[in-house]
Amino acid sequence: MAGRLAVVGAGLMGSGIAQVAAQAGWQVTLRDLDDAATKRGVDGIRKSLEKFAEKGRIEASEVEATLDRISVTTDLEAAADADIVVEAVFERLEIKHDVFRALDKICKSDAVLATNTSAIPVTQIAAVTERPEAVVGTHFFSPVPMMKLCELVRGYKTSDATLATVRAFAEEIGKTVVVVNRDIAGFVTTRLIAALVVEAVKLVESGVISAEDLDTACKLGFGHAMGPLATTDLTGADVLLHAAKNIYADTADEKFFPPELLQRMVTAGDLGRKTGKGFYTY
């Protein structure tokens, strides 16, 4: 199936998606707003591939071969010949609307327009296009080269053909897919982790238990590979805060309302691993 993929956003998620697609033989265009951002994206891909090569998980020759299949740009018009476009920009609806309005005009008529959103309803994103049937959610997990899951999300008008195309794409690049048939805010995985994280933070905030002991309880009691607060540090406290806020805004369900501690951490810049401090110190 391998064809042409455009990824809009060269951050951790976008560069990870670009990497796994290029490894699977896709020609990838990676776009961001400036050269510094695209350089950071490609540098991250190179480091990831080199680590895989060091561990013997890929051949050393695959590093350059994969990088050769990735081109970078700051021009969204470069998505014009893509078969599939995956948007991986910041989790704000107005930013995604700007991207999809532009893609709707730029992309060829049979292109699939996918969003990597983890919480915003696909129907809301698709509504600004003239082709809502071609818009679908492809929610990858971080770090993309390591995580096997891809949550495929139907918008209200997403067609069966669009869903089949992205399923084939995700499986070709090595992912196992689950299908969310209705794009409620937070879908399934983000909704579950947001509810767990909100309750976990409340328990720590009120002095019921330490962060370490709470995570240990989840790991040993529920068989989780990582506790919810360590997961928050890995994902980013700001990302979890935005997700919880998005779900709460859509549902008015109090269980998703972000606790004060989480909001204060984000305000103070303690976002987790990326800043060196979150619920743990790195």
pLDDT at residue 1 greater than cutoff 80:
no
The CATH number that applies at residue 204 is 1.10.1040.50
Query: Do 155 and 200 share a domain, yes or no?
Result: no
Classify residue 130 as exposed, middle or buried by CB count within 10 Å of its CB (0-12, 13-18, 19+).
exposed
What pLDDT does 2 receive?
Answer: 81
The tens digit of pLDDT for each residue in 8-18 reads 999 999 999 99
Residues 11 and 130 in one domain: yes
Beta bridge partners of 151: 139, 178
Same domain, 78 and 14: yes
Give the closest residue to 244 by CA, choosing from 119, 117, 97, 138: 119
Confirm whether 104 is domain-assigned.
yes
Residues 196 and 138 occupy one common structural domain? no
pLDDT bracket for residue 49 (50, 70, 90):
very high
225 conformational bin, left if phi > 0, alpha if psi -120 to 50, beta if neither = alpha
**pLDDT confidence of residue 246:** 86
Q: What is the pLDDT of residues 90-147, one digit of tens each?
A: 988 999 999 999 999 999 999 999 999 988 899 999 999 999 999 999 999 989 999 9
Classify residue 34 by its DSSP letter.
S
Residue at a domain's end among 126, 160, 180: 180
In the predicted model, is pLDDT for residue 56 greater than 90? yes
Assess if residue 279 is contained within a domain. no
The angle at the Cα of 172, spanning 168 to 175, to the nearest 5 degrees, equals 95
Residues 44 and 172 in one domain: yes
Give 144-163 pLDDT, tens digit per residue.
999 999 999 999 999 999 99
The C-alpha atoms of residue 238 and residue 255 are separated, in whole angstroms, by 18
Contact status, residue 108 vs residue 81, Cβ threshold 8 Å: yes
Q: What is the pTM of this model?
A: 0.91
- Mean pLDDT score of the chain: 96
Residue 230 lies inside a defined structural domain of this protein: yes
Strand 149-154 to 135-140 pairing: antiparallel
Alpha-carbon distance of 139 to 91, in angstroms, equals 12
In this structure, the answer to whether residues 169 and 220 fall within a common structural domain is no
Which one of 156, 180, 204 terminates a domain?
180
Residue 274 lies in a domain: no
CA 18 centroid distance within chain: 12
How far apart are alpha carbons 28 and 120 in whole angstroms? 25
Residue 63 lies in a domain: yes
> Are residues 170 and 243 both part of a single domain?
no
- In this predicted structure, the answer to whether residue 64 has a pLDDT above a threshold of 80 is yes
Containing structural domain, residue 86: 4-180
Residue where one domain finishes, among candidates 126, 152, 180 = 180
Q: Are residues 206 and 169 in the same domain?
A: no
Query: Residue 262 domain-assigned?
Result: yes
Are 254 and 170 within one domain? no
The pLDDT tens digits of the residues spanning 198-247 come to 999 999 999 999 999 999 999 999 999 999 999 999 989 999 999 899 89
pLDDT at 182 (0 to 100): 96
Phi/psi of residue 272, each to 5°?
A: 115, -145
Task: Assess if residue 278 is contained within a domain.
Answer: no
For the chain, report the end-to-end CA distance as a whole number of angstroms: 41
Asked if the model's pLDDT at residue 252 lies above 90, the reply is yes
Residues 173 and 260 in one domain: no
pLDDT band at 69; cut points 50, 70, 90 = very high
Domain assignment of residue 277, yes or no: no
Give the chain's domain count. 2
99: domain CATH number is 3.40.50.720
User: Do you know the residue count of the chain?
Assistant: 282
Query: Is pLDDT above 90 for 264?
Result: yes
Q: Do 234 and 107 belong to one domain?
A: no
- Is there a contact between 200 and 244 (Cβ–Cβ < 8 Å)? no
Statement to judge: residues 143 and 237 lie in one domain: no
